[in-house]
Amino acid sequence: MTSYAKPDVRTTPVTYTAFDHLHFYVGNAAQAAAYYITRFGFAPLAYRGLETGSRSILTHVVRQGDITLAFSSALTPDNAAMARHLATHGDGVHDVAFRVDDATAAYEAAVAAGGLDVGLSPPKTLTDEHGAVTVATIRAGWTDTTHTFVQRAAYTGAFLPGYRDARAAGGGGGAKAAGGVAPAAAGGDPLVTLVGVPGLGVIDHVVSNHADGDMERVVAWYERVLGWHRFWSVDDKQMHTEYSALRSVVVADPDEAIKMPINEPASGRRVSQIQEYLDYYGGAGVQHVALRTTDILRAVSTLRDRGVTFITVPDTYYEDLRRRLGVEAGKPGGVSVAEDLTALQALGVLVDFDETGYLLQIFTKPVGERPTLFLEIIQRAGNQGFGVGNFKSLFEAIEREQASRNNL
Ligand SMILES: [Fe+2]
């Protein structure tokens, strides 16, 4: 495992502040949004469709904390691009959007560094009564996924111009308050009063999988085209089980506000879980999205109450963890975990730690129809890593799932 120092010299004029949103192409946007609302506690945020003058694409947008997810489906039979995306990939993340201070500069810098074929949608400024947003989209250095730069400092609307605000009860996608009990702040979702909100705050990282041999090329693309740098990496000697292995390099923007791990499979005795993803997604794409919370016990407890299913690890994981933390406690300045280990074990939350601190994480089972995208819930206490200490036990758990699909 390697951590890299932040470079002294900025190689891009652009300031990135966060993941702005993730845009999914799905078979049924209304039902996909409803899944994230009911299972994950998101609230309706915005809507576009026939009622708003969007004649060919329907989009439902949901939000929790500063996590914004948009789900789009074709409204008409002749939308070849969305039909092809859906047939190839199934439901998946089509666009990973970054919030920037200057979308025009970001687009021009990317095209200047990466060539004209990087540019997909040149900068345009969208306006409505809430202000202006400038957006521009590039092809990511890999297959069908795109990146949109979003400059929204001057905008006070719900999502983007062209969308209707769905935050008030009765807005597009917002359930009417049952018996008048659902608060408007939650988009009128009546489940809020029944099971509560998980309290997920921000997108911590977005991971993509790539074909064997492509990882270095993709990392170089982020360095050259966006002016990002290597943040962290791990090789297949550290990330392997008896059956499969992978390599990963995490790239980050100059201020390290956005982190994107780039994975590739390494050869093993059986089909790598990364290869299983590639086979079912039809190539490279977003494998998992990590959502950060400041209270993972509450978050996971609430998500379980809402019916989210997680990968499970055996009790031996916690026996080993208690032993390792006991050794740690004997060291001067050793890391100690504030949360109750019994509570973490009851919820299936994993712990990783090193001298910088610890992190708590848990992974859902695939959220769609194919064994492709899944979500991670993460809480950080000093540790800025990605849970390398959990990879082996986690991968073995994932392999049990993979074997149950007859794909190992
Ligand atoms: Fe992760």
- The reply to whether 229 sits in an annotated binding site is no
Q: Please tell me the distance between residue 190's alpha carbon and the centre of ligand 1 in angstroms.
A: 31
Q: Please tell me the distance between residue 385's alpha carbon and the centre of ligand 1 in angstroms.
A: 9
Q: Please tell me the distance between residue 158's alpha carbon and the centre of ligand 1 in angstroms.
A: 28
Residues with C-beta atoms within 5 A of ion ligand 1: 290, 376
Helix or strand holding residue 200 (H, E): strand 200-209
Residue 192 lies in a domain: no
318-338 pLDDT, tens digit per residue, is: 988 998 898 888 888 788 999
Verify that 137 and 206 share a domain, yes or no.
no
Q: Please tell me the distance between residue 204's alpha carbon and the centre of ligand 1 in angstroms.
A: 8
Residue 183 lies in a domain: no
Verify that 362 and 291 share a domain, yes or no.
yes
pTM of the shown model: 0.93
* Number of independent structural domains in the chain: 2
Q: Please tell me the distance between residue 180's alpha carbon and the centre of ligand 1 in angstroms.
A: 39
Is 267 buried (19+), middle (13-18) or exposed (0-12) by CB count in 10 A? Answer: exposed
Count Cα neighbours of 138 within 13 Å in the Cβ-side half-sphere. 27
Gap between the terminal Cα atoms of the chain = 26
Residue 232 structure tokens? 């962290």
Residue 175 lies in a domain: no
Q: What is the pLDDT of residue 240?
A: 76
Q: Please tell me the distance between residue 29's alpha carbon and the centre of ligand 1 in angstroms.
A: 25
Residue 357 lies in a domain: yes
Verify that 348 and 278 share a domain, yes or no.
yes
95-143 pLDDT, tens digit per residue, is: 999 999 999 999 999 999 998 889 999 999 999 999 999 999 999 977 7
268-301: buried (b, 16+ CB within 10 Å) or exposed (e) per residue?
Answer: bebbbbbbbbbebbbbbbbbbbbbbbebbbebbb
Among 148, 168, 188, the domain-final residue is 168
Q: What is the pLDDT of residue 171?
A: 40
Verify that 380 and 259 share a domain, yes or no.
yes
Verify that 142 and 273 share a domain, yes or no.
no
Residue 134 lies in a domain: yes
Q: What is the pLDDT of residue 180?
A: 36
Verify that 132 and 207 share a domain, yes or no.
no
Verify that 148 and 262 share a domain, yes or no.
no
Q: What is the pLDDT of residue 341?
A: 95
Expressed as residue numbers, the domain containing 295 is: 200-405
Q: Which residues are 59's β-sheet partners?
A: 48, 72
Verify that 91 and 229 share a domain, yes or no.
no
Q: Please tell me the distance between residue 291's alpha carbon and the centre of ligand 1 in angstroms.
A: 9
Q: Please tell me the distance between residue 361's alpha carbon and the centre of ligand 1 in angstroms.
A: 8
Q: Please tell me the distance between residue 153's alpha carbon and the centre of ligand 1 in angstroms.
A: 29
- The reply to whether 288 sits in an annotated binding site is yes
pLDDT in tens, the chain (408 residues): 888 889 988 989 999 999 999 999 999 999 999 999 999 999 999 999 999 999 999 999 999 999 999 999 999 999 999 999 999 999 999 999 999 999 999 999 999 999 888 999 999 999 999 999 999 999 997 778 999 999 999 899 999 999 999 986 544 333 333 333 334 444 567 887 888 899 999 999 999 999 999 999 999 999 999 999 999 988 877 777 777 788 999 999 999 999 999 999 987 767 788 899 999 999 999 999 999 999 999 999 999 999 999 998 888 889 889 988 988 888 887 889 999 999 999 999 999 998 899 999 999 999 999 999 999 999 999 999 998 888 777 777 777 788 888 888
Q: What is the pLDDT of residue 267?
A: 78
Among 117, 148, 168, the domain-final residue is 168
Q: What is the pLDDT of residue 184?
A: 40
Alpha carbon distance 295, 273 (integer Å): 29
Verify that 151 and 258 share a domain, yes or no.
no
CATH number of the structural domain spanning residue 30? 3.10.180.10
Q: Please tell me the distance between residue 164's alpha carbon and the centre of ligand 1 in angstroms.
A: 33
Q: Please tell me the distance between residue 21's alpha carbon and the centre of ligand 1 in angstroms.
A: 17
Alpha carbon distance 191, 386 (integer Å): 32
Verify that 33 and 145 share a domain, yes or no.
yes
What radius of gyration, in Å, describes the C-alpha atoms of the chain? Answer: 21
Residue 98 lies in a domain: yes
Q: Please tell me the distance between residue 165's alpha carbon and the centre of ligand 1 in angstroms.
A: 31
Is 400 buried (19+), middle (13-18) or exposed (0-12) by CB count in 10 A? Answer: middle
Q: What is the pLDDT of residue 169?
A: 53
Q: Please tell me the distance between residue 201's alpha carbon and the centre of ligand 1 in angstroms.
A: 15
Q: Which residues are 119's β-sheet partners?
A: 138
Q: Please tell me the distance between residue 290's alpha carbon and the centre of ligand 1 in angstroms.
A: 5
Residue 317 lies in a domain: yes
Residue 190 lies in a domain: no
Verify that 270 and 336 share a domain, yes or no.
yes
Among 168, 190, 208, the domain-final residue is 168
Verify that 49 and 143 share a domain, yes or no.
yes
